[in-house]
Amino acid sequence: MDTPIERNENFFVEILKFSLIALLIVVPIRFFIAQPFVVSGASMSPAFEDGEYLVIDQLSYRFNEPQRGDVVIFRYPRDPRTYFIKRIVGLPGESLEMSGKTLYVRNDENPDGFALSEPYIAKENEQGNFFSVTLADDEYFVLGDNRAASSDSRVWGPLNEQYLIGRSFLRLIPLTHIGILPGDYRNAYTQ
């Protein structure tokens, strides 16, 4: 029969084993597969609102290239301790030109260019801009859906791929908006 001291020792050994196993499972998932992210600000409204809780997929971009329309989380190039959430509108090697409220994209498949359909931008969030940029082979052009309230590639330039963390995979909060791949409008693009 176990004494009270032996039972306490067994209990603590079991707790230690459980904690170690949990760490071995959770830590790699947190650092290499998925991580939490809380939206801060209105730059992605109406697709994402301030305070929403997301889970970021950090694994996909190790096997596939980011696509136009992906909502990505990345380290802000001017302060890598800060994280931003934006939408990819320009891919490596492309030329983009914005004239007023229309964004034109030129690439190898469309040398004459095409106007990007952006149905995720609410009419009240549209903002006229004028710029032209050609992206390097390791750069993306990212914009907030709420252009009037977004600090994005129009302000600080193209995003180098080294700053990409992952894409928005799951929205958990608010409970009324739970969903997989929130903000995905990929099928809305026209060429």
Amino acid at 19: S
CATH code, domain carrying 100: 2.10.109.10
- Of the candidates 45, 86, 150, 153, the residue annotated as catalytic is 86
Contact, 70 vs 169, CB < 8 A? no
Phi and psi torsions of 18, nearest 5°:
-60, -45
The residues, any chain, with a CB within 8 Å of residue 134's CB and separated by 6 or more, are 94, 95, 96
DSSP H helical segments within the chain, as ranges?
4-28, 153-156
Kindly state whether residue 69 falls inside one of the protein's structural domains: yes
Q: What is the pLDDT along the chain (191 residues), one digit of tens a residue?
A: 566 666 667 777 788 777 777 666 666 555 555 577 778 888 888 888 888 888 888 888 888 899 998 999 999 999 988 899 999 999 999 999 988 788 899 998 888 889 888 877 776 556 677 888 999 999 999 998 888 888 889 989 999 999 999 998 888 888 788 878 777 775 443 33
In this structure, is residue 75 part of a structural domain? yes
Q: Is residue 25 part of a domain?
A: no
Catalytic residue check, 43: yes
Assigned domain for 3 exists = no
In a domain, 6, yes or no: no
DSSP string, 25-47: HHHHIIIIIEEEEE--SSTTTTT
How many structural domains does the chain have? 1
- Two structure tokens written together for 27: 């830590």
Closest CA to 147 of 37, 79, 47: 47
Half-sphere exposure of 65 (CA within 13 A, CB side): 9
Looking at residue 50, its pLDDT comes to: 86
In sequence order, which residues have a C-beta less than 8 Å from that of residue 46 and are 6 or more positions away?
120, 122, 125, 145, 146
Is the residue at 99 inside a domain?
A: yes
Res 148: pLDDT:
80
135: nearest Cα among 64, 44, 68, 56: 68
124 three-state secondary structure: helix
Query: Which structural domain range is residue 182 located in?
Result: 37-188
Query: Is residue 52 included in any domain, yes or no?
Result: yes
Please report whether residue 147 resides in a domain: yes
86 is catalytic: yes
Distances (CA, A) of 55 to 3, 39, 128, 132, 185: 46, 11, 32, 33, 18
- From the candidates 43, 45, 153, 168, give the one annotated as an active-site residue: 43
